[in-house]
Amino acid sequence: MKTLIRDATIINEGLRYKGSLLISGERIERIYPYVLPLNIDLSGFRVIEASGMYLMPGVIDDQVHFREPGLTHKGDLSSESRAAVAGGVTSFMDMPNTVPQTTTQEFLEEKYRRAAEVSVANYSFFMGGTNDNLQEVIKCDPATVCGIKVFLGSSTGNMLMDDPIALDLLFREAPLLIAAHCEEESIISANSLAAREQFGDQVPFSWHPVIRNAEACYVSSARAVERAARYDTQLHIFHLSTAREMELFNPGPVRDKKITAEVCIHHLWFSDRDYTEKGSQIKWNPAVKTPEDREALWKAILDDRADVVATDHAPHTSEEKNTTYFNAPSGGPLVQHSLVAMLEMGRQRKIPPEKIVAKMCHAPAELFRIRERGYLRQGYYADLVLVDPKKPWTVSKNNILSKCGWSPFEGITFGHSVTHTFVNGELVFYDNKINPDVRGKRLFFDR
């Protein structure tokens, strides 16, 4: 049966207009850029009346930690993909700092096999780069693997890549995009030692942006940009958090760039003023920083120096987070709330919906050259989300789908609700329920 989404407000490719969209099988068969006549014969169609609702491409989140294998007490490919589609995220790219780490072709393909069994969203996985696995990395097929992840600063999983010779070889030989976590380890270590000397084991969480400060971020990001320019490497830097780092990037269409920038939801929503209330819940690496840094990130999004908005979704249990500073892991769950959080910031006139779609749907598709996704186009896969902009709801433990069961947004009321999510033409989320029979597909890349 074909599905007609009728008379929605379509937001796509920089435009907003009233129209309808027809799904046939896995694909978009047709887009009608006008209001359909009332007397049209719709017998044999499933019709979704969408007047007053936004119809957008599904979000592509290129930076998540779904914790499988080895850390499944925090989250897994089933639970976190369900949280994703409930938030309008139809495709994700998962990080390699699992147990075992995704640093061999064998472990990489095992994750793909597992996702095919349980994920309700489309998926891809990064190969992890280390000081000694270049031979495994260069075996990656650019058409079937999203990228290579390198940790240029230590974080959860201890995959720090700090050998300059190994880094030079990787940047020279990489067969596909390198995505980097950039923080300078020597600066973080010195600041951590100073904090311990002052506070002992009771370091306040408000010191997180002092320990992992703006200098640590800039030094590492600048070094990565210089290395990428030297070797003509395609480099994408994740979760940028400072005003000074944004000086490293140029405006322009993402498809035309070799060096690109990403900003995450938590750095756009929170600032260092929130540590007093939120504590470990907003402990991320890199740290949430000043309101001035946050404002600079917004400016970079609007002038296209920052190319992609993602989450760095990284769940930990409440028990793991509710401890002292050095024992509390960094990261938190965000994938269910990323789209509605951005739309809420749109209500505050920080960003128009067309720009949200550009940064969360179109730009990841262009950056990674994802095949036939990221846009509402005839013949593309029907990865779609319907949003009601006049249906407020409040985040609570009762409606959180991430396995960890908490969110830094608990108690926040969002003005928009995701009402329907389609993955490959199948309705996977509707009426606050997941269709457990839907399975996403492996992403492919035109490289």
- For the chain, give every domain's residue range: 2-55+377-393+412-434, 59-368
Residues 6 or more apart in contact with residue 432 via CB below 8 angstroms: 86, 399
CA-CA distance, 293 to 342, in Å (whole number)? 18
Residues 6 or more apart in contact with residue 256 via CB below 8 angstroms: none
pLDDT of residue 157: 58
* Residue pLDDT, tens place only, 104-150: 999 999 999 999 999 999 999 999 999 999 999 999 999 999 999 99
Residue 332 dihedral angles phi and psi, to the nearest 5°: -165, 165
pLDDT of residue 168: 97
HSE-CB for 9 with a 13 A CA cutoff: 10
- Mean pLDDT throughout 12-38? 95
pLDDT of residue 154: 66
pLDDT value at 38 more than 90 = no
* Residue pLDDT, tens place only, 306-339: 999 999 999 999 999 999 999 999 999 999 999 9
What is the pLDDT confidence band of residue 42, given thresholds at 50, 70 and 90?
A: confident
Whole-model pTM over 0.75 = yes
pLDDT value at 64 more than 80 = yes
pLDDT of residue 127: 98
DSSP string, 20-50: EEEEETTEEEEEE-SPPPTT---TTEEEEE-
pLDDT of residue 6: 96
pLDDT value at 391 more than 90 = yes
Q: How many C-beta atoms surround the C-beta of residue 200 within 10 A?
A: 9
* Residue pLDDT, tens place only, 288-299: 999 999 999 999
Nearest-CA neighbor of 287 among 337, 214, 219, 232?
214
pLDDT of residue 274: 98
**The total number of residues written for the chain in this structure:** 447
Buried b (16+ CB within 10 A) or exposed e, 387-419: bbbeeebebeeeebbbbbebbbbeebebbbbbb
- CATH homologous superfamily of 59-368 equals Metal-dependent hydrolases (3.20.20.140)
Between 350 and 121, name the one with better pLDDT. Answer: 121
SS3 content of the chain, % helix, strand, coil (to 5): 35, 25, 45
What is the pLDDT confidence band of residue 398, given thresholds at 50, 70 and 90?
A: very high
pLDDT of residue 44: 85
CA-CA distance, 420 to 434, in Å (whole number)? 10
pLDDT of residue 230: 98
What is the DSSP-derived secondary structure letter of residue 207?
Answer: G
| CATH T-level fold of 2-55+377-393+412-434 | Urease, subunit C; domain 1 (2.30.40)
Q: What angle do CA 237, 239, 245 make, to 5 degrees?
A: 65
- Mean pLDDT throughout 7-26? 97
pLDDT of residue 41: 82
- Mean pLDDT throughout 198-211? 97
pLDDT value at 158 more than 80 = no
* Residue pLDDT, tens place only, 79-116: 999 999 999 999 999 999 999 999 999 999 999 999 99
- Mean pLDDT throughout 275-281? 98
Mean pLDDT of the chain: 97
pLDDT value at 153 more than 80 = no
Q: Out of 7-11, 38-42, 270-274, pick the least confident.
A: 38-42
